[in-house]
Chain A
Amino acid sequence: MKNSQQNNSQLYVGLLSIIFGTLLVLSGCVGTVSRVHKDDEPVKDVEASDVDMRAMAREMATAIIELEMIKNHDGPVVVAFPTINNRTLTVDFNSSNLQSMIRKQLIEHSNGKLQFLDMELSNLIFAERDAKRSGQKTSSKRADLPGADYFLKGEAHSSRKIASDGQMSASHRYFFRLTDAETGIIGWEKDYEFKKYGRRGMVYR
């Protein structure tokens, strides 16, 4: 009798242990990473965030697409968009990402009115053309290289001050201009400015 009672209690303890152990393992499998919306900022600091970049890209694109000099231009407007100068004193700033955001929106929504030269691939393109023209490679078509009608040039600036409590104040200013590639006249310029106060960014730790 005593043995059977002992066996039963051992069985129940074992059963409860299995259940508890399973729950423990399952909770471990859930993990600690969750997907957040791209406009959410779970980590905040005084540096320009991807939310700022997206808002800025949108603002620049909407301003350019409605410019009279673009709308009134005869035919497509060819734009050269070189690297955005980084004067933010941080390595976090991703020039090509911001360039791509602006360019993508303009190409997508301008119905072919705005065309961009791929400046990153310039050397490769020249080499490819030379190879085709010298007979080293075949080509299905030949075309002239279009010249740029405008240069779209951007610069990113930041300045920082450290407060007595160790927190930081950072001012950011990004500006873009469209310059006539033939005359050198700046036809349009716009800036995007903001300031943040709080925890300093990773690059300052």
Chain B
Amino acid sequence: MNSLKTLSHIILTLVALTLIYGCGPHQGARMTKPTLEKNENLVYLDYALTSKIPNEVLEAEILESGRMRVYARFYNKQDKTAECQIKIKFKNDDGRIIDQTGWMPFLLPRRESTEFEHISLTSGVKDFTLLLRAAE
């Protein structure tokens, strides 16, 4: 009987605590160090890809129209086709993203170099970040 009473007290306390701490505003956690995306032009979202699909070339040029053309080349060291996705974010002087693509399919045949080239739709681009991940 006592143990049943104790158990119900514990359950009620847990429910009350969940309600108290689950509701209400909470202070957000701020980033203490910059993300890779902020500083790097090429970011692998999946660590395994860094050794399997190393980057050979990464170049960018500003065109006459003010748009940026980014060219990259990757080598697939594996013995099978690598199904990846690639995304590019174009930034202005302040580092703000002013144009970006969605995740685009990027297939790399086995033991081959594959090129990727993309031009921004917006002009005034000063920097970029290229992201690569394995397709789900």
Contacts and interface: CB of A to CB of B under 8 A. Distances in A.
B70 to A, nearest CB: 11
Contacts, number: 57
B1 A5 contact: yes
A66 B65 contact: yes
B123 to A, nearest CB: 8
B104 interface: yes
Contact of B105 (A12, A40, A51, A61): A51
Using C-beta atoms within 8 Å of the partner chain, give the interface range for chain B: 20 to 34
B136 A41 contact: yes
A12 B8 contact: yes
Contacts of B8: 12, 15-16
B82 to A, nearest CB: 15
Looking at chain A's contact residues, the main secondary structure is helix
A8 B103 contact: no
Contacts of A108: 121
A51 B11 contact: no
A16 B104 CA distance: 52
Contacts of A105: 121
Contacts of A40: 136
Contacts of B65: 66, 71
